[in-house]
């Protein structure tokens, strides 16, 4: 689907890059999935933080993982990105088993990861930040590649010479997403892309993310902000205390009772107090 919009990888060296550029027409695994994580159990120390979680993302799909603080969202994403070893389970990326692979193998297979904080190299300029992503992947940095991400994030074009540490929070987030984009990934994994952003900037970032998966890039997002999650995602999953509690469509996130209970809390529905003030008799009995 939509292969004309998929950016072709201009491989310079390394067998994995060449393999991806050859398979640009049909990048998914045999089951049509870009990412298949099955029965993932992982954690720090003795206690598992994430237990038996399975996640599938197809090309051009966007899956959001929602959950309260400490639910294991970041842990799950770090395990998928290869920064944390799995205890059980399997991770298949573009049909390639990367369960035990180093992060480098995963980036070569087309995954990029944007962590939730410390997302840019502060003392480097915006342009250097973009350039190093291609350097790290062992590919050449061209003005065309930079131009393509600047078309998506025009604000960065005006700030190319500025040290990334002096950017605002929203601009940093955009730079981090742009840096992940410039390697032309098949799968982008983003941890809390809305964190610390004002509502206006959130809307902007959400629109860019929708453009990403419209162009055929699979995205996996961990998010705490339900509004943001429902506006960006297609499929959604609720993670609570390391377990999958609910699966559905992102559009249902704002109304699903299980999500409301896990994230907002039992009996503290927003507006409940106002409802009660307006209509004291109705809520008196309950």
Partner 1 sequence: MLTQGNQINLIILAILTCSMAMPLRAGLLSLAPIGMANIGGYGAALLLLHTSLGPVVAVLAAMTGGAVLSAFLSFPLARMRGLYTSIGTLAFLVIVTDLATSASITGGSLGLIEIPFYNMVGIGLLVLGCAVAILYWLDHSTFGRRIDLVGHDEDLARSLGVSITATRVVSQVIAGALAGFAGAAYVMSFYIMTPGIFDFYFAVQIVAFLFLGGAAYWLGPLIGSLLLGGLSVWLTNLGYWSDVISGGVMVLIIIVYPEGIGGLLRNRLRYRGWATRQFRRGRFPLPSAPAAAMSASTASGGEDQS
Q: Where does this chain bind partner 1 (CB under 8 A)?
A: 81-83, 102-104, 106-108, 112-115, 118-119, 121-125, 127-128, 131-133, 135-138, 143, 146-147, 150, 157-158, 160-161, 179
Pairing outcome for strands 187-191 and 218-223: parallel
* H helix and E strand count, the chain: 12, 10
Strand order in the sheet with 62-66: 111-114, 187-191, 218-223, 62-66, 235-240, 243-249
CA 272 to chain centre: 32
Identify which of residues 140 and 269 has a Cβ nearer to partner 1 in the complex.
140
Shortest CB 129 distance to partner 1, Å: 10
- Please say which residue, 196 or 248, places its beta carbon nearer to partner 1: 196
Q: Which of 164, 205, 172, 177 is nearest to 112 (CA)?
A: 177
Name residue, tokens 């809520």.
Answer: 283
Q: Return the number of the residue (127 or 206) whose C-beta is nearest partner 1.
A: 127
Q: How far is the CB of 54 from partner 1 (least distance, A)?
A: 22
The nearer residue to partner 1, 19 or 124, going by C-beta atoms, is 124
Closest contact distance (angstroms) between CB of 158 and partner 1 is 5
The three-class DSSP label of residue 22 is helix
Minimum distance between the CB of residue 93 and partner 1, rounded to whole angstroms?
13
- 187 close to 35: Cβ distance less than 8 angstroms: yes
Min dist. Cβ of residue 170 to partner 1 (A): 18
Least distance CB 104 / partner 1 (angstroms) = 4
Nearer to partner 1, 55 or 146 (CB): 146
10/244 with CB nearer partner 1:
10
Task: Provide CB contacts within 8 A for 217, sequence distance 6+.
Answer: 6, 59, 60, 181, 185, 186, 187, 188
């Amino acid at each position: 689907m939509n292969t004309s919009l998929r950016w072709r990888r201009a491989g310079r060296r390394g067998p994995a890059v060449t393999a991806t550029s050859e398979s640009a027409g049909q990048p998914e695994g045999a089951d049509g999935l870009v990412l298949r994580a099955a029965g993932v159990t992982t954690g720090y120390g003795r206690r598992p933080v994430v237990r038996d979680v399975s996640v599938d993302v197809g090309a051009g799909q966007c899956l959001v993982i929602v959950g309260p603080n400490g639910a294991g969202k970041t842990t799950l994403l770090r395990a998928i990105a290869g920064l944390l070893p799995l205890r059980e389970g399997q991770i298949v990326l573009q049909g390639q088993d990367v369960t035990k692979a180093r992060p480098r193998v995963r980036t070569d297979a087309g995954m990029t990861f944007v962590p939730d904080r410390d997302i840019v190299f502060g003392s480097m300029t915006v342009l250097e930040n973009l350039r190093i992503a291609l350097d790290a992947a062992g590919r050449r940095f061209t003005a065309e590649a930079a131009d393509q991400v600047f078309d998506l994030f025009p604000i960065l074009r005006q700030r190319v010479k500025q040290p990334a540490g002096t950017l605002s929070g929203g601009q940093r987030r955009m730079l981090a997403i742009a840096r992940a984009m410039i390697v032309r990934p098949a799968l982008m994994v983003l941890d809390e892309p809305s964190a610390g952003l004002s509502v206006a900037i959130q809307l902007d970032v959400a629109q860019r993310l929708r453009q990403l998966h419209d162009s055929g890039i699979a995205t996996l997002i961990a998010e705490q902000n339900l509004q943001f999650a429902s506006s960006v995602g297609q499929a959604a999953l609720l993670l609570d205390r390391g377990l999958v509690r609910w699966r559905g469509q992102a559009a249902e996130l704002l109304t699903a009772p299980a999500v409301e209970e896990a994230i907002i809390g039992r009996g503290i529905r927003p507006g409940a107090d106002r409802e009660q003030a307006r209509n004291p008799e109705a809520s008196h009995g309950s």
